[in-house]
Amino acid sequence: MWYFSWILGTGLACTFAVLNAMWLELRVSDSKQALNDI
């Protein structure tokens, strides 16, 4: 059953990568918005 943990770990890593990229895009857009407000 090693393949189950391998697939589960790969899925969690991919999910973490996607969420991290979404958070980074949100943070960059917020900083650009803050610069435009000044």
Which 3-state string (H, E, C) describes 5-31? HHHHHHHHHHHHHHHHHHHHHHHHHHH
Q: What one-character DSSP code corresponds to residue 36? A: H
State the pLDDT confidence band at 38, using cuts at 50, 70 and 90. low
Encoded tokens for 7 = 């697939």
pTM of the model: 0.71
Q: What one-character DSSP code corresponds to residue 38? A: -
pLDDT in tens, 15-32: 999 999 999 999 988 877
Encoded tokens for 9 = 């770990």
Q: Is 1 helix (H, G, I), strand (E, B) or coil?
A: coil
